[in-house]
């Protein structure tokens, strides 16, 4: 009789994902229910976000549907770094190095979640309203997290975050900066206060709220442009038009556009610095009144009329660049403008200005530099990655969204946060943001730049939750989202 072999007790493993350091028995999960022991391997049960190349993918929640092993190519599926985890500090290869075939070409995508100390948000706010002086501090919860930067056509611009506010100031400044960036990048609304300026509620892809008022429209153009656009339409309906604008206020009868189509001089005189005929700078202070100025009564920008050209009864339309403010006047016997009801003949033109304004939005670009050790997770020769990105052999995406790559040294990029999957961003208490980042290139190019070829896994296996040997944390779930942008794996766009 042989002795009965003792059944071997399943091995228990110690999870090092968090300070609890659970011992986990085989087939069981730790206290968090998010890390499990599967046959002695530590498995992370969080969903990895997969982009599907169709207009509307059902969001597949974690483990709602097991992978059924459909044959898929990179034409259909792209593994994003959202939920991939990280191998920071990158002494070993990135968590996922995925091989796929796209239109017959062998492609490699290196997927990781980067920890970005050098990062921030560039915010564009479509409004004429003066939100604050250039360089004015932008605050959240009382802490300075950035500043107002040079305005763009029809928009105010903010530059938020950056390494100085994240790690160069007080602990609270860093924490608040990180929290505000995280919220902005994940599409949440944040409240920002500008020193000497406005209080705003901003969220990416939504109309900004400035001093409690939701912005509806951005201006159709500057005052001068508006005069040009509507010169012919107003001809014969009114004797003079002034388009009030914080940047350039336009005067029809003096403006080149008015002159060419035969507007008569009206004798009007504008207070303000004349740039070229019919174009005036600095008619008032910036503000939240008419056309982004502080004006509540537009007549205050008019000087006395020239008696030689002006006449009693002369009609005057004053309008802002969004059509939001408009008033109609006629000169009395003393050549003083008197406000009258807006005549019906002028209403359509004012309305047309409004109709030609685009909806005001706040947009948020995440900007960061992927330098340092993150690159060694991709290749044994970090500068090779930098050069490959600079020469467009390697495409960088952030959660599958395209990036604008800065020329010059390093891998410094900007990406529209609304193009990324939901809640793509996280943070670490450093403080720094955690953002998904993927590097895609031809397999041959990856090998040539010293890529970790022995850590590559095929797409189908990555989707099953398998990884290369570098990853302690096997992912067992996935979540699909429809791609909102151009498909990240397009070999043609690569050199």
Report the run of H or E that residue 155 belongs to, with start and end. Answer: strand 155-161
**What residues numbered 26-55 form the site for another protein, per CB under 8 A?**
28, 30-33
Report the run of H or E that residue 149 belongs to, with start and end. Answer: strand 143-152
Q: 335 is written with which tokens? A: 């050549």
| Residue 468 makes contact with another protein by CB under 8 A | no
- Binding test (CB under 8 A) with another protein, winner from 56, 74, 149, 183: 183
Comparing CB distances to another protein, the nearer of 416 and 472 is: 472
- Binding test (CB under 8 A) with another protein, winner from 24, 360, 456, 463: 24
Q: How far apart are the first and last CA of the chain?
A: 72
Measured in degrees and rounded to the nearest 5, phi and psi for residue 287 equal -175, -160
Compute CA distances 287 → 31, 213, 274, 284, 296, whole Å. 56, 14, 20, 9, 10
Q: 64 is written with which tokens? A: 């709602």
Stretch touching another protein by CB under 8 A, among 11-19, 123-131, 344-352, 476-484: 11-19
> How many degrees, rounded to 5, is the angle at CA 354 between CA 351 and CA 360?
165
**What residues numbered 204-263 form the site for another protein, per CB under 8 A?**
none
**What residues numbered 406-445 form the site for another protein, per CB under 8 A?**
423, 426-429
Measured in degrees and rounded to the nearest 5, phi and psi for residue 105 equal -95, 140
Stretch touching another protein by CB under 8 A, among 25-33, 99-107, 370-378, 458-466: 25-33
Query: Given the DSSP bridges, would you call strands 240-244 and 315-320 parallel, antiparallel or unpaired?
Result: parallel
DSSP state of 426: E
Least Å distance, CB 244 to another protein, is 33
- Does residue 116 contact residue 86 with C-beta atoms inside 8 Å? no
Compute CA distances 270 → 294, 306, 332, 482, whole Å. 16, 11, 18, 55
d(CA 73, CA 460): 8
Stretch touching another protein by CB under 8 A, among 99-107, 123-131, 186-194, 265-273: 186-194
Comparing CB distances to another protein, the nearer of 188 and 354 is: 188
- Binding test (CB under 8 A) with another protein, winner from 19, 55, 104, 408: 19
Q: 469 is written with which tokens? A: 């040997």
Least Å distance, CB 21 to another protein, is 7
Comparing CB distances to another protein, the nearer of 46 and 438 is: 46
Stretch touching another protein by CB under 8 A, among 61-69, 124-132, 176-184, 435-443: 176-184
**What residues numbered 122-151 form the site for another protein, per CB under 8 A?**
141
d(CA 84, CA 79): 9
Comparing CB distances to another protein, the nearer of 14 and 340 is: 14
Q: Which positions lie near another protein, rule CB under 8 A? A: 12, 16-25, 28, 30-33, 85-86, 141, 175-176, 179, 182-183, 186, 188, 191, 423, 426-429, 472-473
């Amino acid at each position: 009789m042989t002795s009965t072999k003792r059944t071997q007790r399943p091995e228990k493993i110690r999870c090092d994902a968090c300070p609890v350091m659970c011992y986990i028995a085989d087939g069981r999960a730790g206290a968090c229910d998010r890390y499990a022991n599967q046959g002695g391997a530590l498995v992370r049960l969080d969903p990895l976000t997969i982009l599907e190349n169709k207009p509307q993918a059902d969001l597949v929640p974690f483990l709602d549907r097991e992978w059924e092993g459909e044959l898929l190519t990179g034409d259909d599926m792209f593994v994003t770094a959202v939920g991939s985890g990280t191998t920071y500090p990158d002494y070993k290869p990135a968590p996922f190095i995925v091989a796929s075939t796209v239109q017959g070409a062998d492609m490699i995508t290196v997927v990781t979640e980067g920890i970005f100390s050098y990062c921030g948000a560039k915010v564009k706010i479509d409004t004429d309203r003066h939100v604050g002086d250039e360089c004015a501090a932008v605050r959240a919860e009382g802490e300075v997290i950035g500043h107002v930067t040079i305005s763009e056509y029809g928009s105010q611009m903010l530059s938020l975050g950056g390494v100085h506010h994240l790690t160069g100031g007080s602990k609270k400044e860093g924490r608040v900066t990180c929290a505000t960036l995280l919220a902005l990048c994940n599409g949440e609304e944040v409240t920002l206060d500008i020193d000497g300026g406005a209080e705003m509620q901003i969220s990416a892809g939504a109309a900004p709220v400035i001093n409690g008022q939701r912005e509806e429209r951005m201006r159709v153009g500057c005052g001068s442009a508006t005069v040009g656009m509507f010169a012919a339409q107003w001809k014969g309906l009114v004797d003079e038009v002034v388009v009030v604008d914080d940047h350039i206020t336009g005067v029809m009868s003096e403006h080149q556009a008015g002159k060419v189509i035969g507007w008569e001089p009206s004798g009007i005189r504008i207070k303000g610095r004349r740039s070229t005929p019919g174009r005036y700078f600095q008619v008032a202070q910036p503000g939240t009144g008419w056309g982004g100025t502080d004006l509540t009564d537009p007549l205050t920008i008019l000087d006395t009329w020239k008696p030689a050209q002006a006449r009693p009864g002369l009609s005057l339309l004053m309008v802002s660049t969004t059509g939001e403010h408009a008033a109609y006047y006629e000169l009395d016997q003393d050549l003083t403008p008197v406000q009258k009801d807006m005549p019906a003949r002028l209403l359509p033109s004012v309305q047309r200005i409004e109709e030609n304004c685009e909806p005001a939005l706040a947009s948020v670009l995440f900007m960061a530099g992927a330098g340092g050790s993150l690159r060694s997770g991709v290749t044994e020769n970090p500068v090779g990655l930098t050069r490959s990105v600079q020469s467009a052999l390697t495409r960088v995406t952030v959660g599958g969204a395209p990036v604008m790559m800065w020329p010059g040294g390093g891998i410094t990029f900007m990406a529209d946060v609304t193009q990324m999957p939901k809640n793509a961003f996280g943070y670490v208490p450093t403080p720094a943001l955690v953002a998904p980042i993927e590097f895609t290139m031809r397999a041959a190019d990856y090998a040539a730049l010293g890529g970790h070829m022995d850590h590559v896994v095929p797409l189908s296996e990555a989707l099953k939750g398998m990884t290369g040997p570098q990853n302690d944390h096997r992912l067992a779930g996935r979540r699909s989202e429809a791609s909102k942008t151009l498909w990240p794996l397009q070999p043609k766009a690569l050199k």
